[in-house]
């Protein structure tokens, strides 16, 4: 698929359509020029996504080349990347520059014969949380200070505690646990204090990620009968949950963009797992495919500046870390007054 760069005239036609069909404060879907995938007017703001109907496909680069399995990447605030690797025996957390291990050898952060995975770096870049099975058969959440290397165990429940993710202010951690016999989302303080049950119910809830302002959590849930991406307020509660994807293919591992306007996720809607981007309001408000390969592309995470997405892929026959550049969706915004002034009928 070829990325289509819309002209000023194309964007103008889309904006005129927005003005003609969508009064301020309302949302509408309507035909727009081919090079514009969607136009949305919400609360008097028009958002024009300048992309092909499927968004085009980003260019991708391989970052790790070790014969061992590499997966579960995440960005540090300074642009470095943490990931999990089986190199050196066991599964441990490693750190490498954003350009990959070819520019500088990757550095091992955890050094334990047990398995350690799901690393997430704190917003201030000082600490990393991760999951470890070093305490017998349980899966617990640990925290390491990147300066001193001191490790602290945060959960001590005879259960599986997985997929920890920091709140934007670094004060809380949302995670997944089966401590109530179903896979649900929990919230605790940054040092493991005061765990709170967010999603009581019979469903499988996985892969939580905070919105940049900390008010919402996006996650994968089976409450629709399929693997779909859902959204809820940080306080939890069934009434706050909103379904964002509805495709028969499985959608999972959502990741919020730094500006809060888009969500990247893995989807099997095209047959095999690929990386996609949708508007934060859901797939009906804008959708673009990022990767297209017969192999599996999973675990997308946005770069701090929102220009790249790092992910894990087995497209070489081995699981490695890759990055997508030149993301297919560019969003231009304009106030309602600017649209009426520039694109008056």
284 shares its domain with 298: yes
CATH number of the domain residue 183 falls in: 2.120.10.30
Across the range 174-194, mean pLDDT stands at 96
Long-range own/partner contacts, residues 103-106 (CB < 8 A, 24 or more apart): 106/64
193 shares its domain with 311: yes
Which pLDDT score is estimated for 53? 34
Which pLDDT score is estimated for 270? 92
105 shares its domain with 33: no
Which pLDDT score is estimated for 56? 55
Please give the tally of structural domains in the chain: 2
25-29, 30-34, 229-233 — which one is most confidently predicted on average?
229-233
| pLDDT beyond 80 at 57 | yes
11 shares its domain with 64: no
Domain that holds residue 49: 1-56+329-345
Q: Read off the pLDDT of residues 93-140 as tens digits, 9 standing for 90 and up.
A: 999 999 988 666 899 999 988 899 999 999 999 999 999 998 777 899
196 shares its domain with 308: yes
Q: Read off the pLDDT of residues 283-332 as tens digits, 9 standing for 90 and up.
A: 888 899 999 999 999 999 999 999 999 999 999 999 999 999 988 754 33
171 shares its domain with 255: yes
161 shares its domain with 30: no
DSSP letters for 28-76: ------TTEEEEEEETTEEEEEES-TT----EEEE----SS-EEEEEE-
Q: Read off the pLDDT of residues 235-291 as tens digits, 9 standing for 90 and up.
A: 877 678 999 999 999 999 999 999 999 999 999 999 999 999 999 999 888 899 999
52 shares its domain with 63: no
43 shares its domain with 103: no
Whole-model pTM over 0.75:
yes
Residue 3 is classified by DSSP as P
47 shares its domain with 115: no
307 shares its domain with 185: yes
Which pLDDT score is estimated for 238? 67
């Amino acid at each position: 698929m070829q990325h289509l760069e819309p002209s000023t005239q194309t964007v103008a036609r889309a904006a005129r359509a927005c003005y003609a069909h969508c009064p301020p404060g309302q949302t509408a879907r309507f035909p727009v020029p081919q090079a514009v995938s969607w136009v949305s007017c919400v609360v008097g703001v028009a958002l024009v996504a300048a992309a092909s109907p499927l968004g085009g496909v980003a260019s991708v680069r391989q970052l790790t080349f070790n014969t061992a399995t590499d997966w579960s990447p995440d960005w540090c605030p300074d642009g470095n990347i943490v990931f999990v690797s089986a190199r050196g025996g066991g599964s441990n957390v490693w750190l490498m520059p954003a350009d990959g291990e070819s520019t500088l050898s990757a550095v091992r952060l955890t050094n334990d014969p047990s398995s350690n995975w799901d690393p997430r770096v704190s917003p201030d870049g000082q600490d990393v949380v991760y999951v470890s099975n070093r305490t017998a058969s349980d899966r617990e959440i640990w925290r390491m200070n990147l300066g001193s290397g001191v490790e602290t165990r945060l959960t001590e429940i005879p259960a599986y505690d997985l997929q920890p993710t920091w709140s934007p202010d670094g004060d809380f951690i949302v995670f997944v646990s089966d401590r109530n016999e179903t896979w649900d989302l929990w919230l605790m303080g940054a040092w493991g204090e005061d765990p709170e049950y967010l999603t009581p119910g019979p469903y499988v809830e996985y892969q939580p990620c905070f919105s940049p302002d900390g008010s919402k959590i996006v996650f994968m849930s089976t409450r629709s009968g399929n693997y779909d991406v859902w959204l809820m307020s940080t306080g939890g509660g069934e009434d706050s949950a909103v379904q964002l994807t509805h495709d028969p293919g499985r959608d999972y591992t959502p990741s919020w963009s730094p500006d809060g306007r888009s969500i990247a996720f893995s989807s099997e809607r095209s047959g095999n797992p690929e990386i996609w981007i949708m508007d934060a309001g859901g797939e009906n408000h804008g959708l673009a495919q990022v990767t297209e390969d017969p192999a599996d592309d999973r675990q997308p995470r946005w770069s701090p500046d929102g220009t790249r997405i790092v992910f894990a892929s087995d497209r070489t026959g081995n699981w490695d870390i890759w990055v997508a550049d030149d993301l297919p969706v560019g969003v231009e915004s304009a106030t309602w007054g600017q649209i009426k002034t520039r694109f008056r009928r």
